[in-house]
């Protein structure tokens, strides 16, 4: 599947998850709630005590299998990028339990993963994830430089203009609007 097609598929999956009440859309939370708590508990309970490492066989469990099996039906609270990450995990059997649980810690340390860190949602570029973040979280500023690309004044103005249209809307409405933009633009772009 091409990256553009995967973006559309992930956006559609997010909309389905929202409609099925498996995702609670909130600002400021990457992945949280009962699903994340259950997965953390599964990971941490495998260690004999808090100072011992978690065995590899538990760390390397497939997060998708756990979400669809043992923890089926557990909802989670997510922001826009968190919703896309959950959709990515449900389509990809290469995300381990340890990676799923730790991705929020990585998210909290930077807008898009630290230098050298793997992009948690490979269908999207870091720049596209920044664009989604700015639109969803209604941030008045963001890191405008990624991979040697700089946002032009016109691009920033266009994003600010679109962000103003979403300002004051409920988090769910903002996320649904962004996902519909991805679908309408056939995955080629968000706004820019």
Question: How far apart, in Å, are the Cα atoms of 117 and each of 20, 40, 90, 184?
Answer: 32, 21, 21, 30
Distance CA 100, CA 40 (A): 9
The predicted model scores a pTM of 0.87
Residue ranges of alpha helices (H) inside the chain are: 3-19, 34-45, 56-59, 63-68, 80-91, 97-109, 126-137, 153-166, 171-184
What pLDDT, in 10s, does the model give residues 73-108? 888 999 999 999 999 999 988 899 988 888 866 665
Question: How far apart, in Å, are the Cα atoms of 69 and each of 30, 64, 93, 98, 102?
Answer: 22, 8, 13, 17, 20
Distance CA 162, CA 135 (A): 7
What pLDDT, in 10s, does the model give residues 120-152? 899 999 889 988 988 898 765 455 444 446 678
Residue among 94, 79, 95, 101 at smallest CA distance from 18: 79
What pLDDT, in 10s, does the model give residues 156-189? 888 888 888 888 899 999 999 999 999 999 999 9
Instruction: Map out the domains of the chain as residue ranges.
Output: 3-184
Pairwise pLDDT comparison (55 vs 104), residue with the higher score: 55
Distance CA 4, CA 148 (A): 22
pLDDT at 150: 65
């Amino acid at each position: 599947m091409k990256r553009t097609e995967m973006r559309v598929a992930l956006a559609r999956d997010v909309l389905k998850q929202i409609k099925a009440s498996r995702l609670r859309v909130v600002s400021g939370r990457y992945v949280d709630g009962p699903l994340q708590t259950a997965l953390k508990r599964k990971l941490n309970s495998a260690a004999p005590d808090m100072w011992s490492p978690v065995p590899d066989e538990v760390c390397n469990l497939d997060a998708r299998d756990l979400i669809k099996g043992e923890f089926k039906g557990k909802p989670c609270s997510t922001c826009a990028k968190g919703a896309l990450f959950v959709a990515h995990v449900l389509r990809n059997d290469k995300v381990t339990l340890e990676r799923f649980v730790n991705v929020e810690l990585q998210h909290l340390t930077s807008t898009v993963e630290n230098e050298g860190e793997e992009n948690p949602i490979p269908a999207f570029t870091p720049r596209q994830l920044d664009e989604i973040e700015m639109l969803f979280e209604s941030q008045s500023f963001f890191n405008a430089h990624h991979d040697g690309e700089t946002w032009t004044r016109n691009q920033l103005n266009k994003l600010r203009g679109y962000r103003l249209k979403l300002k004051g809307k409920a988090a769910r409405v903002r996320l649904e609007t962004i996902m519909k933009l991805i679908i309408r633009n056939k995955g080629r772009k968000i706004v820019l």
